[in-house]
Amino acid sequence: MDAAEVQKKVYEMVEKMQGKKKLKPKDISNALEAEGATKEEVKAALRELIDGGKLVYSYFGGTAVEIPHTEGSANPQS
Amino acid sequence: MADKPKRITDIGAPHFSKFLPPVIAKNYGKWKYHEVIDKGTMKHVSETGDELYTVRIATPRLVSTDYVREMCAYADKFSGGHLRWTTRHNVEFFPAKDQVEPLKTALKKDGHLVGGIGYGISNVVHTQGWIHCHTPATDASGVVKAVMDELHEYFTTKTLPARVRIALACCLNMCGAVHCSDIAILGIHRKPPKVNEATIANQCEIPTTIASCPTGAIAPNPAAKSVKIKEERCMYCGNCYTMCPSLPLADAHGDGISIYVGGKVSNARGVPRMSKLAIPFLPNNPPRWPEVVQAVKHIVEVYAKDARKHERMGEWIERIGWERFFKLTGIPFTYQHIDDFTFARDTFRMTPTFKWE
Amino acid sequence: MSKDGKTPMLDDLEKGAWPSFVKEIKKAAVKSNTAKDLLNILERSYRDKVTHWKHGGIVGVLGYGGGVIGRYCDLPEEYPGVAHFHTVRINQPAGNYYTSNALRELMDIWDKYGSGLTNMHGSTGDLVLLGTQTDKLEAIFAETTAKGWDLGGSGSCLRTPSCCVGNSRCEFSNIDSMEICDTLTHKFQDELHRPAFPYKFKIKVSGCANDCTAAIARADMSIIGTWRDDIRIDQAEVKNCSKDMDIKTEVCDMCPTHCMSWDGSTLKINNKDCTRCMHCINRMPKALRPGKEKGATIMLGGKAPIVTGALMSWVIVPFMKLEKPFDNIEDLIRKLWEWWDEHGKNRERIGELVDRMGMRSMLESTGLPPVPQMVKAPRSNPYVFWSPEDVK
Ligand code: HEM
Ligand code: HEM
Ligand code: HEM
Ligand code: SF4
Ligand code: SF4
Ligand code: SF4
Ligand code: SF4
């Protein structure tokens, strides 16, 4: 799969699940491997998106990948 | 953007060779033997004949940058600018032979406790507590301070039959891995999280919150855009509060401290073993936690009186039997002492051979 | 905080012989509002008997999945200085040796951007800088990396490896624990900073069975130095020792394998029976030394209780020579990670996976042969699983 396409798919997958399920790098990799991408391609796409700030790692007991947003704890008035 | 400096990443820790005192760099891997000179001083002798002196002091673990600078100043004056921290939060200096006494005198004059080597109580490995963590059932630094104010002589002068390692973790996540200590002080919660109905809809993602519970104790409450806790399933791990700040676990009355004893990590003589429950619950009474201090002190004193030389707490208890441990310490035996979790059966006595007390 | 900013409960902890963390917070509070409000909110916790921190899960530096622990307080209006109170984990140098110059550089950076409070060190081993705000993190990262330091691990990744002093100051050491720790840290930078594992993985290295890093209790992979040949005895020194101790009761009788004897002039060890527990060597370091054929026992699976109960590591390789560049241990670790990655569930530590899948699955996938050193005893239950190949 071409690198831009993998990145697009990764991003869309995270976007779709945001707030519903914390996706681990492994979940993303499994899903895209099923669509024909390789492990290495997914890893490279994740790294590109994360180094570019479009996605971030989060940690709530386990590590997940999310779109940057303000989390509940950082949000005093609600 | 173009002239932004390139970010440096993935360089790892600096190599330790930058920091070694010359005598260590020269004799690396050539040490022949060591002598414990007193509770705060060791001498290591190399095959080359070189000698290395080590002087150790206790730190409070949580320190200011000025404290670190003070340590640096001792290092500059007495130790060639070199120092190290031990895994139990002590600081060590490496003075030349003729600087050992001047260094110790200076340290003691400034109120530092020199000691921690050999058979006694070294510094207490502990976690963050109310200083920094979100799931503690007690404070860490304060309890340690209160306990060691009472027991500090075992650090500086008094000896015990063997090493007594004390550790504290402020919840059962046990960042400090206290479960193999001679005496483990463990913060425990006894009540499930409370749902803050006013904030949960705004602060929390309901599906990920439900998924965060390792025991499946959280059920959706769609009508209220909230969740329900199945209380009998909760084992107070705090995972849900990590995910969702509207499920606070802390409770002034429910939270407190339990004491586990008899663990060790060293393989000397007997194999490593986990600490086992001695006291299921003691209340949080800041700032000095008198019940906890008394309990720890009492266990140390009973051990000191009854154990044989070189016998760690756990080896002593195994020799006399838990029946007698409870008798000697006067600690009551309760339902909570009998395991009912995953490895419970291994702890039941499958023989009619036991002691009456 | 009581309205007047007084902290009577904490003040009480300035008294007493043991070094006081309250004094330290107060020292930092002279320079930092963050430290000042830490003192105030801690006094509040002492009164309320509950914590006032919330977990922050999305703070960090660009590109890394760990090294920063997010914290927010639940009363930001009352304690604005600690509205954010994030922690930065700096990867400690192996053995925790420092020079005063290097430490002062770090402390200067921390005074500039943080509370001026630190834990030397955290439980995993990192040098922990305690209390800063989200918008300072990139600057802290840039300045510390410029001085040659990097962040440690947090999250579902390799956590910062740690080790005992080993060869640098301990005659008992059978492996170069500091060099192994440093080498593995550098080989595994990607695994340390970009979490991709089912859960955390810890590596600790102890030079002998005294296990000063508590590797067996606290690490998924515990590397413990040992030897294969005979304990070296200096009989003259044994005689010397006998002046200050009763060698029979304090050494021979406490040997767990009863493989030693002392007739008042010669110490004999039946080395075939010795299990290398270190007791006799600890008692007589001048007279006894580990053998010369040195290496390590590799153990797997140690962890704290969450979720199914605490585990201690068990033997998977009885003896492995560990010499630079340590490719053999790297190779084994990578194979274990592959197996864990393939089968592990979310938040399942590798020891729990062995529990669930059985040792055989792990051994087959890493190519390790079954040997009696791995078990205390063979099974007693007859529910043996046979695979078709076994029965052929
Ligand atoms: C007499 C010989 C011994 C010497 C020279 C010695 C030396 C040391 C040193 C240098 C450390 C600090 C390691 C570090 O910070 O990385 C240490 C720590 C430790 N030692 Fe030993 N040790 C000896 C015997 C033992 C024995 C017999 C035990 C257990 C029964 C033991 C248990 C520990 C433990 C649990 C630690 C970690 C905690 C700490 O830093 O105090 N040691 N030891
Ligand atoms: C008393 C009852 C239960 C106990 C003690 C229990 C215990 C556990 C434990 C310890 C785990 C973690 C496993 C791991 O981390 O590898 C787990 C995971 C899980 N449990 Fe339960 N469980 C219980 C009931 C249930 C029930 C009733 C359900 C479903 C209706 C359930 C669904 C799950 C699922 C889906 C996971 C996997 C979660 C994941 O992979 O993240 N459990 N359970
Ligand atoms: C290789 C596996 C085993 C073999 C070949 C085996 C064989 C036997 C035999 C031949 C008897 C005598 C039966 C009789 O007198 O009628 C017996 C009794 C018994 N076995 Fe096993 N056994 C095995 C494993 C176990 C295990 C794993 C346990 C329990 C942990 C166990 C518990 C018992 C008990 C309690 C009895 C006495 C039963 C009674 O007298 O009512 N056995 N076994
Ligand atoms: S032991 Fe528990 S409460 Fe204490 S610092 Fe660790 S996770 Fe937090
Ligand atoms: S504290 Fe732990 S066990 Fe209890 S509801 Fe929360 S996640 Fe579940
Ligand atoms: S583990 Fe062994 S080799 Fe390492 S410092 Fe401790 S006693 Fe020495
Ligand atoms: S090392 Fe342990 S088992 Fe070996 S001879 Fe010494 S005391 Fe005995």
> B191-202, pLDDT tens digit by residue?
999 999 999 998
> How many angstroms does the Cα of residue B216 sit away from the middle of ligand 2?
6
ipTM more than 0.90?
A: yes
Question: Which residue does chain A place closest to B200, by CA atoms?
Answer: A78
Q: Does the pLDDT at position B342 exceed 90?
A: no
Per-residue pLDDT averaged across A62-75, rounded? 90
- CA-nearest residue to C133 within chain A is A74
Q: E strands of chain A, at which residues?
A: 56-59, 63-66
CA of C159 from ligand 2 middle (Å) equals 25
Residue A77 banded pLDDT, cuts 50, 70, 90: very low
Q: Which residues of chain C have pLDDT under 50?
A: 1-3
- Rounded distance from Cα B28 to ligand 6 centre (Å): 14
Q: Which comes out higher in pLDDT, residue C389 or B330? A: B330
Strand partners, B85: B91
- Residue C216 has its nearest CB partner, among B15, B20, B265, at B265
Q: Please tell me the pTM assigned to this model.
A: 0.83
The pLDDT, as a whole number, for residue C2 is 45
Ligand 7, atom 6: closest residue by C-alpha: C280
pLDDT of B120 strictly over 70: yes
CATH 2.102.10.10, domain C162-227+293-370, yes or no: no
For position B5, what pLDDT does the model report?
Answer: 66
CATH number of C232-289: 3.30.70.20
CATH number of the domain located at residue range(s) C8-146 in this protein:
3.30.70.2500
Asked if residue A78 has pLDDT above 50, the reply is no
CB distance C63 to ligand 3 below 6 Å = no
Q: Given this model, what pLDDT does residue C381 score?
A: 87
Tell me the CA distances in angstroms from B147 to B87, B109, B174, B290, B297, one per residue in order.
Answer: 20, 23, 19, 9, 8
With b for 16 or more beta-carbon neighbours within 10 A and e for fewer, the B280-319 pattern comes to bebebebbbbebbbebbeebbebbeebbeebbbbbbbbee
**What confidence score (pLDDT) does residue B24 get?**
98
Question: Residue holding tokens 């020194």?
Answer: C237
User: In the prediction, which pLDDT does C385 show?
Assistant: 85
Q: Is A75 on the interface with B (CB under 8 A)?
A: yes
Q: Any residues with CB less than 8 A from the CB of C19 and at least 6 apart, and which? A: B58, B59, B60, B111, B112, B113
Q: Which of C168, C176, C180, C210 to mutate to test the pocket of ligand 6 (most atoms within 8 A of CB)?
A: C210
- What are the tens digits of pLDDT across the range C318-372? 999 999 999 999 999 999 999 999 999 988 999 999 999 999 999 999 999 999 9
Distance CA B27, CA B47 (A): 8
Rounded Cα–Cα distance for residues A45 and A51 (Å): 10
| Domains along the sequence of chain A with CATH | 3-74 (1.10.10.10)
Q: Which atom of ligand 2 is nearest to the CA of C348?
A: 16
Residue where the block lists tokens 């009164």: C47
- Asked if residues B116 and B58 have their Cβ atoms less than 8 Å apart, the reply is yes
CB contacts < 8 A, A to B, total 33
> What is the model's pLDDT at position B177?
67
- Cβ of residue B266 lying under 6 Å from some atom of ligand 2: no
Q: How far is C58 from chain A (nearest CA, A)?
A: 5
> Is C8-146's fold the same as C232-289's?
yes
What is the per-residue pLDDT across B17-50, written as a single tens digit (0 to 9) for each? 999 999 999 999 999 999 999 999 999 999 999 9
B214-239, pLDDT tens digit by residue?
Answer: 889 999 999 989 999 999 999 898 99
CA of C353 to the centre of ligand 1 (A): 31
DSSP C190: H
Residues of A in contact with B202 (CB under 8 A): 72, 75, 78
Residues of B at the A interface, defined by Cβ within 8 angstroms: 199, 202-205, 207-208, 211-212, 239, 242-246
Domain boundaries, chain C: 8-146, 162-227+293-370, 232-289
Based on its alpha-carbon atoms, the radius of gyration of chain A, rounded to whole angstroms, reads 13
Residues of chain B above pLDDT 70, percent: 98
With bands split at pLDDT 50, 70 and 90, how would you rate the model's confidence at A72? confident
pLDDT digits 0-9 by tens, B167-220: 999 988 777 668 899 999 999 999 999 999 999 998 999 999 999 998 899 999
**Pairing relationship of beta strands C86-90 and C97-99 according to DSSP bridges:** unpaired
Residue B76 has pLDDT above 80, yes or no: yes
User: Mean pLDDT, chain B, as a whole number?
Assistant: 94
Q: Do the Cβ atoms of C347 and A62 come within 8 Å?
A: yes
Chain C closest CA to B85's CA: distance in Å?
5
